[in-house]
Structure 1
Amino acid sequence: MDLLHSPTSRDARSTARDRLTAWHDRARPPQMSGLPPGPVRIPTAIQTLGLWTMRPSFLRHMQRRYGDVFTVSDLPVGKVVVLCGATDVRTVLRGHPDLYLGGDGNSALGPVVGARSVITLDGHDHRSERKSMIPAFHGSRISAMTTSMEELTRREISSWPFGTSFSLLNRMQDLSLRIIVRTIIGESNPVEADKLTLALRAALPQRLIDLAVWQFPPLAGIRPWRGFLKAMDHADELLYRQIERCRVDPARETRSDVLSMLLDESRDDETIRDGLMSLLVAGHETTAVELAWVFEELLRDQYSLERIHAGLDCDDDPYRAAVIKETLRLHPAIFNVMRRITDDVELSDGRRLRAGTLVMPSIGSVHTDVRVWGPDARRFRPARWFEPQVPEAAWFPFGGGARRCLGSSFALSEIDVVIRTILRSTQLVPDRRAHERQRMHHATVVPHRGTRVRLRSRRG
């Protein structure tokens, strides 16, 4: 048997602590010099706090002070050059993947997604893994998943309370995770799906303090980090159990979930596990965040709400698509990405960055840049997407180039199905008139109160 494509033995599988140690050894940043100016008088700890708790406002403040290119210090990665101009951001996102290493920039996700993840790989390994995963997101496969998405959304709606406000973000996080368990992993048994959903939720960092063990591995032996790593190992155990069940399932050829497709590619178990965790990390939180922002904006915009209701019976209503695109523009779940450059590069202003520099293209900064989107750049206005000169070349909520999000079509389909199902089945109202502010939740930008709503009526 070809060992490369055989099931991975239990003794050979990496644990959460193994992945943590491997990442910590890899994460030591090189010391760079000659970097653009930045807030050198602000202690690194304070800059890190600003990046991880109020990134949009912190980066806007730095941009006003230093311009479109500046340097910040971020624990544990070190010095990072932030790029806020549309030209430089587009150049990096669409540049050659061997010049702008995304896997190196995403290495902080290694303890969760693993070393064989398409998120943390670079070069030939990344291209090969990405190519083999693309068929999982062909249109026909996604279409086969929409019925499950709608069914799970209706089940979620049935649990919402009347009379009291609740966080729609929390509900969307649960729903998005259940959709992944059903459509990506293929678990349809409600009891087993609930077990897996709870285990995966516990294995994902919920608080900023959870990430402290990334920087200080000795914390892994004490609470609460010891329990967090145990939760990751428990989730791995359940994932490997799913892989084993699918491998011997006589009906595997008729299944439409992603796991069955990954097994058809003859991967070993650990590579499949890393692929599943990659899709979970990339598609769970981000999709839930975008759904929360859609309703945060829509429920306070009566005109847009009426327009979108009028097209609910249309599978491809252009106004609903515009609402989704405008939400992704105004509230990209991932405000920025990371890339490590492998050769000297010249920026649009003539400044040169040396090989080895870590750069942070700020997607959120470009998406609200008045020079690109006009004076109402920070206003929710779906109608802009029907205008002839809308700058779609400056819209990249899913990244771009060779590292564009693999599951972007899946995410857009899920967002569309969930919006239609909720609006057809309920009448929701915000619990306050004022818009919710942005705040950071790890790497995502979320509504600061979680889009708190009240259920006024439930239909059908």
Structure 2
Amino acid sequence: MALLDDVSEIQDTHALTRQRFERTSFMGDSTLPPVKLEGLPPGPGWPALVETIALFRYRHRFHLWLRNKYGPTFTVNLMPGGRPLVLFTRPEDIKEIFAGDPEVFHAGKGNAILGPIMGEHSLLLQDSSQHKRARKLLMPAFNGHALRDYRDLVIDLARDEVAHWPTGRTFESLPRMNTLTLEVILRVVFGVTDEDRLAALRPCVNATVDVNPIVLLAWGYPQLQKVGPWKKVVDNQHALDELMYAEIRDRRTAPDLATRTDVLSRLIREGQDSTDPADRLSDMELRDQLVTLLLAGHETTATALAWALYELGRNPDLMSRAQEAADSSDGDGDAWLDAVMKESLRLHPVIPMVVRTLMKPTTVGGFDLPVGTTVGPSIIVTHSADNYERAEEFDPTRFLGHNPPTNTWIPFGGGARRCIGAGFAAMEGVAILREVLKVKNVHTDHEDRPRVRNITSVPDQGARIKVTPR
């Protein structure tokens, strides 16, 4: 499969990228009125810049400090424009947010910082009828039958990756898991098999995942896009879009499209027989949804897996139980490994919060909030001692045979906007853990803690482990 080399097509692709940059930014919604802090739940009252830095850079301590100082509901004043963010931590309040009217609780505006990368058609940036339509078109690619089709390829990729791990020497598991989950995205989701295109995509995808939120915060100033880190992002997005549009065009005419099982091929086939354009995804929509799946499903799953191995390696009893589960061929084994992944996501949240912007005055948790207020649960606090006994301990049995109380475990959000890839992430995590633990003993002899990496949190030392053959 040749890389795109038609000059006119490249120029058209570049025009689409420039158009996306022009139409998306993190400068706020000018149609929403400014929100005054008076009458909102308590908060520090510091300058918006200081609170924004604290929330992004020191989130693990800041969320808990806010909870301890101001109670279960608190307000943070954010850049740009000083728009307040009200964070909730009680399950009953979180339920109100997740069950709220989608016409009132808009998620797209709260995720606007990702607009220049994900694009305006992204499921995370759409609201109301647009979101409902996109979710309907995407859902068939993530149902139970589709997940079973993906599983064998995930297993093959995991088996090959683990075979290349060093033996008896400490190494960082996070980069290895990032490499593996990236390959899953490229082959299982994007469906790319051509080695030349894979080689070209990998650095572009890694650079996209590494985009710093500080870069995106200033995206509303076009002059910055010509210098420094902003220019690097622009150049990388042009390169990535060129490759992705080429893959989409090639796939639409692929002779084996009808039998391919990857996510992209399934999305292209969806609505193919309909005469109504609303029943299928355009090339631009496909590009935006694929990048969304990439950003939402690559580093998050890799981080959860790295933390899971790190925690198992610290506890010989849990390691032994997990290896028994990996060796098992029945559903109980999968249930135990699934519990390990869930506990990893509870104890080490990858995403700190999920947010909604109010389009009408609304009462949440007993507070009357004006239009334009952004609200959401703090995942960091919700997963902590407020709702779990011995919350600092890694204990997968919390998730065996029962689920935790509703809205106390929310790594994938909730309600009508719960992450569409949650089932895929669970399948992928269990399959990869099984392949590791079937052939390796895992030992952890280094302490680690979370570190902020862009919008996610990752192990500061890379979740260093040592493996030996079983």
Give the alignment's TM-score, normalised by structure 2: 0.89
1:55 aligned partner: 59
For the pair 1:240 / 2:245, whether they are aligned, the reply is yes
1:22 aligned partner: 23
1:229 aligned partner: 234
Once residues 255 and 395 of structure 1 are traced to their aligned partners in structure 2, the CA distance between those partners, rounded to angstroms, is 35
Contact 1:89 1:362 in 2 (8 A): no
CA distance 1:110–1:315, shift in 2 (3 Å): farther
For the pair 1:69 / 2:73, whether they are aligned, the reply is yes
Question: Quick one: which amino acid aligns to residue 257 of structure 2?
Answer: R
CA distance 1:222–1:26, shift in 2 (3 Å): closer
Which residue of the other structure, out of 294, 301, 305, is the alignment partner of 2:319? 305
Post-superposition shift, 1:13?
6.7
Post-superposition shift, 1:143?
0.9
Contact 2:450 2:460 in 1 (8 A): yes
Per-residue CA deviations over 1:246-291 (Å, capped at 9, x if unaligned) read 1110110000011112212342211111111111111111111111
Question: Quick one: which amino acid aligns to residue 39 of structure 1?
Answer: P
2:273 aligned partner: none
Which residue of the other structure, out of 352, 364, 374, is the alignment partner of 1:358? 374
2:299 aligned partner: 285
| Alignment of structure 1 residues 129-148 onto 2, 5 Å | 129-148=134-153
SS for the counterpart of 2:24 is: helix
Once residues 389 and 285 of structure 1 are traced to their aligned partners in structure 2, the CA distance between those partners, rounded to angstroms, is 25
Once residues 304 and 25 of structure 1 are traced to their aligned partners in structure 2, the CA distance between those partners, rounded to angstroms, is 44
Which residue of the other structure, out of 435, 443, 458, is the alignment partner of 1:421? 435
Once residues 211 and 147 of structure 1 are traced to their aligned partners in structure 2, the CA distance between those partners, rounded to angstroms, is 37
| Alignment of structure 1 residues 305-454 onto 2, 5 Å | 305-312=319-326, 313-316=328-331, 317=333, 318-348=335-365, 350-370=366-386, 372-374=387-389, 376-386=390-400, 390-432=404-446, 434=447, 436-454=448-466
SS for the counterpart of 1:214 is: coil
Once residues 246 and 388 of structure 1 are traced to their aligned partners in structure 2, the CA distance between those partners, rounded to angstroms, is 42
CA RMSD of aligned residues (A): 2.3
1:5 aligned partner: none
1:31 aligned partner: 34
Gaps of 5+ in 2: 1-8, 271-279
CA distance 1:25–1:176, shift in 2 (3 Å): closer
Contact 2:25 2:115 in 1 (8 A): no
| Alignment of structure 1 residues 39-50 onto 2, 5 Å | 39-40=44-45, 42-50=46-54
SS for the counterpart of 1:76 is: coil
Contact 1:213 1:220 in 2 (8 A): no
Post-superposition shift, 1:310?
0.9
Once residues 358 and 14 of structure 1 are traced to their aligned partners in structure 2, the CA distance between those partners, rounded to angstroms, is 33
SS for the counterpart of 1:236 is: helix
Give the alignment's TM-score, normalised by structure 1: 0.90
Gaps of 5+ in 1: 1-7
Contact 2:347 2:384 in 1 (8 A): yes
Once residues 316 and 458 of structure 2 are traced to their aligned partners in structure 1, the CA distance between those partners, rounded to angstroms, is 22
Once residues 362 and 408 of structure 2 are traced to their aligned partners in structure 1, the CA distance between those partners, rounded to angstroms, is 21
CA distance 1:309–1:138, shift in 2 (3 Å): same
Question: Quick one: which amino acid aligns to residue 369 of structure 1?
Answer: A
2:6 aligned partner: none
2:178 aligned partner: 173
Contact 1:90 1:394 in 2 (8 A): no
Once residues 407 and 42 of structure 2 are traced to their aligned partners in structure 1, the CA distance between those partners, rounded to angstroms, is 28
SS for the counterpart of 2:75 is: strand
Per-residue CA deviations over 1:214-252 (Å, capped at 9, x if unaligned) read 354322101232122111110111001110111110110
CA distance 1:431–1:253, shift in 2 (3 Å): same
Once residues 196 and 12 of structure 1 are traced to their aligned partners in structure 2, the CA distance between those partners, rounded to angstroms, is 16
Contact 1:17 1:220 in 2 (8 A): no
Once residues 137 and 430 of structure 1 are traced to their aligned partners in structure 2, the CA distance between those partners, rounded to angstroms, is 34
SS for the counterpart of 2:420 is: coil
